[in-house]
Amino acid sequence: MYALSRRQMLAGLAAAGVVPAASSTAQETGNLNVARHNVSAFRQHRWQDHFDNLKNGAILSDTNSRMLQFWSEDESIFKIFPTSVPLTDELTRRGYTSVVRKVKGPSWRPTPSMLKRNPEWPSYVAPGPDNPLGTHALYLSWTYYRIHGTHDTRKIGRRSSNGCIGLYNENIQELFALTKIGTQVKLI
């Protein structure tokens, strides 16, 4: 039995005229609501399905949907943000952790495994526009794992990180203000 990839299936359907070709624009198809990039299976979660309580607030990062949800401790605030996620499942850590440190204007040091894969990378990047952590970072109890901003907005909605969860700088700034040390975090 021959299995088709998603790309092959869409190409075949486009050739048959069932769906618009990937190179078609919304104007060409006559449908201005056509989503052409970063489409994922978004699923809104209930905090009760993942956390026993909302003490200190809760963050749920869904790596399949490439989105992050935040609930405040008193449930008065609920936010959803698009994210970048790790490049591969091997780089993706899943489970429960918490925010242990918050840094505005973080510096960045690649992990030993990153330097092994990319020996040309610098060993240190100061805060600023060249820093891959963006403007704010939430350090998790897992070594080397962060929820942080990015200056490279092309990464959001994609598998593009070496393990961290990335947000637009304006979104991490908002999340940074809402979270506190001890905020619960779950990555699924």
Q: Which of 37, 45, 151, 164 is catalytic?
A: 164
**Each residue's pLDDT tens digit, 99-132:** 999 999 999 898 888 889 889 998 899 998 888 8
Residue type, 72: S
Residue 151 is among the residues annotated as catalytic for this protein: no
- Say which residues have a Cβ less than 8 Å from residue 133's Cβ, sequence separation at least 6: 106, 107, 108, 146, 148, 149, 150, 164
In a domain, 41, yes or no: no
Does a structural domain hold residue 147?
yes
Q: Which residues contact 100 (CB under 8 A, 6 or more apart)?
A: 139, 140, 141, 181
Considering the domain architecture, whether residues 97 and 52 belong to the same structural domain is answered as yes
Domain assignment present for residue 11? The answer is yes
Let me know whether 27 and 59 are in one domain: no
Residue 23 shares a structural domain with residue 107 = no
CATH of the domain at 123: 2.40.440.10
Residue at 25: amino acid letter: T
The C-alpha atoms of residue 89 and residue 1 are separated, in whole angstroms, by: 27
Residue 54: pLDDT band by 50, 70, 90 thresholds? very high
Claim to verify: residue 29 and residue 97 sit in the same structural domain: no
Instruction: Choose between 123 and 29: higher pLDDT.
Output: 123
pLDDT tens, residue by residue, 150-180:
878 878 877 777 778 888 999 999 999 999 9
C-alpha 96/C-alpha 39 separation (Å) is 26
Report d(CA 161, CA 106) in Å as an integer.
17
Q: Is residue 107 part of a domain?
A: yes
Find the angle CA(102)-CA(173)-CA(80) to the nearest 5 degrees: 105
Instruction: Say if residue 69 is in the same domain as residue 162.
Output: yes
Residue 36 predicted with pLDDT over 50: no
Quote the pLDDT of residue 42: 66
Specify the pLDDT at position 25: 34
If asked whether residues 26 and 62 sit together in one domain, one would say no
Which range among 17-26, 47-56, 137-146 shows the weakest confidence by mean pLDDT? 17-26
Coil/strand/helix, residue 174:
helix
State the DSSP string of 66-100: TEEEEE-TTSS-EEEEE-BEESSGGG---EEEEEE
Per-residue pLDDT, averaged over 58-64, amounts to: 89
Burial of 114 (0-12, 13-18, 19+ CB in 10 A): middle
Which member of 37, 136, 148, 151 is catalytic?
148
Residue 164 annotated as catalytic: yes
Domain region containing 94: 47-187
- Identify whether residues 84 and 143 lie together within a single domain: yes
Look at residue 5 in the predicted model and tell me its pLDDT. Answer: 55
Same domain, 161 and 92: yes
Q: Quickly state the pLDDT bin for 8 (edges 50, 70, 90).
A: low
pLDDT digits (tens, 9 = 90+) for 90-106: 777 788 999 999 999 99
pTM passes above 0.75 = no
